[in-house]
Copies of this chain bind each other. A is one copy, B any other.
Amino acid sequence: MNDTSDLVAELKKRGAQKVALQFPEGLKRRAAEYATALKTAGFDVIVSGDPCYGACDLAVDTLALADVLIHFGHAPVDDLQNVIFEPYHVGFDVTVLKHALPLLKGKTICLVTTVQHVHLVPEMAAFLQLQGIDTRIGAGSTRTPFRGQVLGCSFAAAKVPGADEILFVGTGLFHAIGIAIATRKRVIALDPLTGIAQDVNGDTLLRRRFAVIEKARNAKTIGIILSTKSGQQRMALAQHLSSLSPNATIVTLREVSPDELLNLGFACYVNTACPRLAYDDQVRFPVPVLSPQEFEIVCGVRTWDDYAIDEIP
């Protein structure tokens, strides 16, 4: 557990008495100790226990029972009031970036990372500059407030004009693949914890998505998934997609689970919630789950050449 004295000071400054705590899945086990520390400091504490995968998924219902919500581990994606975003930094020795150097070919690279490493962006950039690499850091979007920060649903910081290629520093390949499709540039992914660097492209994902699109073409009933999470609810998009087919019905879902998709019984779904769900979890789903752009292709209002990866603006 991190020291809570700054948090306690911030809560006192805000005049908060009832405090709600929300943790992503990987930090949930800390809930009991944070609750005890804040109760000892004199606050009433309530923990949100629901699944949480991002700042797009704020515990609004638990905040309704408290004065302030402390959301751990993510940066804000919107400007909801009475939420304190408490970072959870994961550090590493930036010289690990040396493993990416042999793969970098461009003169100018754009450096991006995820929120838990974003505090190291200046140090990483300085290391790369020292190696003679012209390093650019993008400004991000409203969903990615930190310079150089990307999310699975927002690659704005990777879209720096003039960069020849992009270096993504972080865990997993989803962000890097998304960046490759979104920017159509060369992307190198470096896992800073293992030191493994690799050249990433979107070809495999695009081939898989093409197969899913073909499978969805004959669906007689289509559920347009509309999230009820704070930062994932895209009603205008859901209504637009629903208007493309008489067989489409808008379906709200908090957690998009294989069980519920099966129980609802639609032959195909279109996902307007967290974009990663369609790309990452298709293997878990009983029927095709398309992205908005993929459904436009099925409905003939977008061509395959205009394929785009789904981002939330």
Which residue in B25, B29, B32, B252 is a CB contact (below 8 Å) of A49? B252
Number of copies of this chain in the oligomer? 2
Shortest beta-carbon distance from A183 to chain B in Å: 34
Decide if A105 is an interface residue (CB 8 Å cutoff): no
Chain B: CB-nearest residue to A249:
B35
**Binary CB contact string for chain A from 1 to 43 against chain B (1 if under 8 A, 0 otherwise):** 0000000000000000000100001001101100110010000
Q: Which residues of B contact A36 (CB under 8 A)?
A: 249
Q: Judging by beta carbons under 8 Å apart, are A46 and B265 in contact?
A: no
Decide if A244 is an interface residue (CB 8 Å cutoff): no
Chain B: CB-nearest residue to A229:
B61
Decide if A205 is an interface residue (CB 8 Å cutoff): no
Interface residues of A, dominant DSSP = mixed
Shortest beta-carbon distance from A25 to chain B in Å: 6
Assembly CA distance A221 to B33 (angstroms) = 9
Q: Judging by beta carbons under 8 Å apart, are B235 and A65 in contact?
A: yes
Q: Judging by beta carbons under 8 Å apart, are A49 and B260 in contact?
A: yes
Q: A residues 244-258 with Cβ under 8 Å of B?
A: 249-255
User: What count of chain A residues pass the 8 Å CB interface test?
Assistant: 39
Q: Judging by beta carbons under 8 Å apart, are A264 and B28 in contact?
A: yes
Q: Which residues of B contact A39 (CB under 8 A)?
A: 249
Shortest beta-carbon distance from A22 to chain B in Å: 9
Q: Judging by beta carbons under 8 Å apart, are B252 and A51 in contact?
A: no
Given contacts A61-B228, A228-B62, A260-B50, contact A32 B235 (CB under 8 A): no
Chain B: CB-nearest residue to A222:
B32
**Binary CB contact string for chain A from 248 to 292 against chain B (1 if under 8 A, 0 otherwise):** 011111110001100111100000000000000000000000000
Chain B: CB-nearest residue to A225:
B49
Decide if A179 is an interface residue (CB 8 Å cutoff): no
Seed contacts A32-B264, A50-B260; 11 additional CB < 8 Å A-B pairs: A32-B223, A36-B249, A45-B249, A47-B223, A47-B264, A48-B252, A49-B252, A49-B260, A50-B228, A51-B259, A61-B252
Q: What would be 23 A-B contacts, judged by CB atoms less than 8 Å apart?
A: A20-B252, A28-B263, A28-B264, A28-B265, A29-B263, A31-B264, A46-B250, A46-B251, A47-B223, A47-B249, A47-B250, A47-B251, A47-B264, A48-B251, A49-B251, A49-B252, A49-B253, A50-B255, A50-B260, A59-B252, A65-B252, A254-B254, A255-B255
